[in-house]
Structure 1
Amino acid sequence: MSIPDTAEHAIGLDEALPQIDWAVAPEGTREYRFEAPSGSLAAWDLGDPDGERVVLVPGATGSKEDFAYLAPILAGQGYFVQSYDLPGQYQSADAGPAGDEGWTYELFINDMVAFLEAGKPAHLLGFSFAGIVAQFVTVQRPELVRSLTLLATPPLTGQVFRAVRSIGWLTRLPIYTKHVGGAVLIWNVRTNFSKVTPERLRFANARLAYTRRISVDGIVGLMMKTPDLRAELRASRVPKLVVSGERDLWSSKLYRRFASEIGATAAVYATGHSPCETTPHQLALDMVQLFHTAD
């Protein structure tokens, strides 16, 4: 796969995406274990190790396979692309604390910092919850981050689910605990709320058999108290990109406002919550343009 020359070309390529087996890593991928502070994490890399480094981090109920379209496009342009499963998720299920306590921002931040420290400074992408973690890392350790892409990352602070389309009102009720929120998140996957392809749905459901439910609840609990790092991010010299879909959980208006508040460029595509799966060429085009500003 290659980076398209124009947005129109990218849209055309995204409309003709081939079906893939999501459980199989892209051709040329090296799969390995990374020993992080939280435990052993499943990871992969693709591309030229001497190329500029790109680190893609998935969110809750996700995994590195979420970037099976995006990673080869970037690697085909000479970038060295890496990803890992968050602790408690899919093939990193055994990592992280054993019980209900300990699912803290520090847990995820320390893992991300350790992964970044294991190589050259990287262009960092955080998907959904991982974008919140990536904001912390960018503010605390800017020397590790060449650019920051926030992909479908909640564009609010505090209890971010309050503005989710359709069910935002429910999340403001006292009954909406992290356990209820975790159940809703898993239900969305099981019922194909996002209307993904049959192949993608089969993989997403199979992946849930490995993911620890307690880790999903823990992440939802953290997202219910998302910190406000907008001022620090706006003051940061790290180039930033905020990406969302028109049919995302949060409105495009909120994403555009968030991008303005942190001094980032905004990109909105005609898709849902997972542009890396549905509009990877458009995403890659905007990411590479961001990378150039870091140069």
Structure 2
Amino acid sequence: MSLPMTAEAAYGLDEVLPPIDWALAPEGTRAYRFAAPSGSLAAWDLGDPEGERVVMVPGITGSKEDFALLAPILAGQGYFVQSYDLPGQYESADAGPEGAEGWSYELFVDDMIAFLEAGSTPAHLLGFSFAGIVAQLVTVQRPELVRSLTLLATPPLTGQVFRGVRTLGWLARVPFLVRKHFVGGVMIWNVRTNFSKVTPERLAFANARLDHTRRESVDGIVGLMMTTPNLYQPLRDSAVPKLVVAGEHDLWRAKLYRRFAKRIGAAVAVYATGHSPCETTPHQLALDLVQLYRTSEKLSAR
């Protein structure tokens, strides 16, 4: 799949995205299991194994299928794209601890480091939403594994990140309403009721995926997002090229993402979409990713 050379062309392609069956992997994808510290994780890869490696990790209530439109575009540019389901989520539901306790940043960081170490490094790393927080920790702890860092719809705040959610952020000041089980329930309700107004094909897959995802893993991740670490300075000091990506209609306002990018020394891209640019504006996102990857290549060649 060729990549358009202009932002205008990418926008045009994103305007006419065809419906797809999200449960089916893109043509040419290899599905496999990865033995991670937390357990057996469902993973896939696409593209030329000799190409530069791109590792894309989904967020809470997500899965590798979130990149079904984006991955083929990057693979078409010669990149080797890999992804995996987080422990407790979808086809990795059996991995991770039992119950809502025991879910820690260390668990997710160890898995991500193990996955990166299992292939050629450094790799271009993309973390979607919660996985972006984990990717920041990995970049700070193991910068030699990361060629570039993309934070896709990653909460642009630290601490209790839900306080900045548009319209409903004030609920974060109500003790009962910020319990992780309650917030996890709201996230699941959002998917079940199609509050975000996704396509019928996407809604069918998202609901089927939730039937496999363990509820305690959702609650555990929500609890971690309520204690998001402040990594502004170490990320700003890092030589790893960085990109912050968000939708204009995301959960957090675009101005927060722009401020976040400035604080960590990252470029920023904001598209006219919601929380999932990888699903709704994949060509525009791919164009910016390839630009980031080529910049990192030039820096590494010096």
TM-score normalised by structure 2 residue count: 0.97
2-side partners of 1:157 and 1:2: how far apart? 38
Question: What is the match of residue 72 of structure 2?
Answer: 72
2-side partners of 1:179 and 1:157: how far apart? 20
Letter in 2 for 1:38: S
- State how 1:1-295 maps to structure 2 within 5 Å: 1-120=1-120, 121-175=122-176, 176-295=178-297
Question: What is the match of residue 300 of structure 2?
Answer: none
Letter in 2 for 1:251: R
1-side partners of 2:276 and 2:29: how far apart? 22
Letter in 1 for 2:38: S
The alpha-carbon deviation at position 173 of structure 1 amounts to 0.8
Structure 2 portions without partners, runs of 5+:
298-302
The alpha-carbon deviation at position 185 of structure 1 amounts to 0.6
Structure 1 portions without partners, runs of 5+:
none
The alpha-carbon deviation at position 100 of structure 1 amounts to 2.3
The alpha-carbon deviation at position 99 of structure 1 amounts to 2.1
2-side partners of 1:220 and 1:101: how far apart? 12
Letter in 2 for 1:179: H
Return 145-154 or 169-178, whichever deviates more. 169-178
State the Cα deviation string for residues 241-263 of structure 1 (Å, max 9, x = none).
00000000000000000000000
2-side partners of 1:69 and 1:115: how far apart? 22
2-side partners of 1:123 and 1:193: how far apart? 32
Shift >6 Å, 4+ stretches:
none
User: Helix, strand or coil for the counterpart of 2:175?
Assistant: coil
The alpha-carbon deviation at position 137 of structure 1 amounts to 0.2
Return 141-150 or 99-108, whichever deviates more. 99-108
Letter in 2 for 1:225: T
